[in-house]
Structure 1
C-alpha cells in the first residue's frame, strides 16, 4: 500500500507526515500560543490513527513559557511513540526534557522516549532502530 504524504503549515512552521507513523515538524522562530494550539490539533488528528514518532527540527526556534505550558498540559503521551529533536541547542534540550517532566506533574505521564540528535539522517536512523526494537515478535 502506497503511503500518502500530508502537510500542514502555520506561518513559518510546517508539519509533514513522512511515513504512516512519523510526523516531521519544522519550527522556525517563535512558536506562539496559537502555533502550539495548531500543532496540537494536528498531533491529535494523527494520533487518531495510532501512536506516531514526532521528529522535530528546532534550530533557531523558541518555545515561550505560555506555549510550553499549553503543550505540556494538553499533549497526551499515548499519542507518541517517541519525540526526536533535531539540531537543538542546550536550552532547547532543557525545554524538551522539562516538558516531559511537566507532563508527569500534570498527570500525563510521558511514557515515550525523548531523544536529541544533530541531523535528520540520525533522526531517521534512530526511528528505524526504535521501530525494529519495538516491533511485535512472532512466536512459534
Structure 2
C-alpha cells in the first residue's frame, strides 16, 4: 500500500491501487479545494472508475459554493462508489447535506453506490463487496455523466 499523501489545502488524498482514493477532510472545504479534489478523482480514474473513501472525522464545514460545484462538474463517471467514515453528528449532517445536493444535481440514470460506515475496516469490507457485486468496466471513466458506473 502506498503511504504517500497528497495535500489539497488542509485535506489529504492517497491513491491505493487498483481503484481506491482515500481522503481525509480536515477543517472546512472551500469551492477551490473541492474542485481540486475532483481533479484528483479524475486523474486517478483515467483507467476506470474508482472508489472514494472519505474520512469525515476532522471535517468542519462544506462551503455552499463547494456543494454547488456538483451542478457544474459531474463526477459520476469517475466513481464506482463513495463511502464516508468517522465523524460525529455535525460531520454527518454536513455530509448528508452535500449528498442531498448530489442527488439533486445528478438526476440521471447513473447510480453511484454510497454508504456511511463507522470506520475504515467496515469501509474496506463494503468496497470489497461492491467490487465482487459489480466488477469494474474499464473505459467508463471520462465518458461523461451518462457513463455507466459499476
TM-score, normalised by the number of residues in structure 2: 0.77
Q: Which residue of 2 aligns with 1:19?
A: 17
Trace 1:1-140 onto structure 2 (pairs within 5 A).
7-61=5-59, 62-88=61-87, 89=89, 90-105=92-107, 111-135=111-135
> SS in structure 2 opposite 1:35?
helix
> SS in structure 1 opposite 2:16?
strand
Give unpaired runs (5+ residues) of structure 2.
Answer: 137-150
Query: CA separation in 2, counterparts of 1:103 and 1:110?
Result: 12
Query: CA separation in 1, counterparts of 2:71 and 2:45?
Result: 16
Give unpaired runs (5+ residues) of structure 1.
Answer: none
Query: CA separation in 1, counterparts of 2:116 and 2:2?
Result: 27
TM-score, normalised by the number of residues in structure 1: 0.82
8 Å CA contact 2:38–2:75 kept in 1: the answer is no
Query: CA separation in 2, counterparts of 1:118 and 1:73?
Result: 31
Change (3 A) 1:24 1:16: same
Query: CA separation in 1, counterparts of 2:40 and 2:14?
Result: 10
Change (3 A) 1:102 1:109: farther
> SS in structure 2 opposite 1:59?
strand
Higher relative contact order (CA 8 A, sep 6+): 2
Give the aligned length. Answer: 132
**Aligned-pair Cα RMSD in Å:** 2.2
Q: Measure how far apart 1:76 and its partner are.
A: 2.2
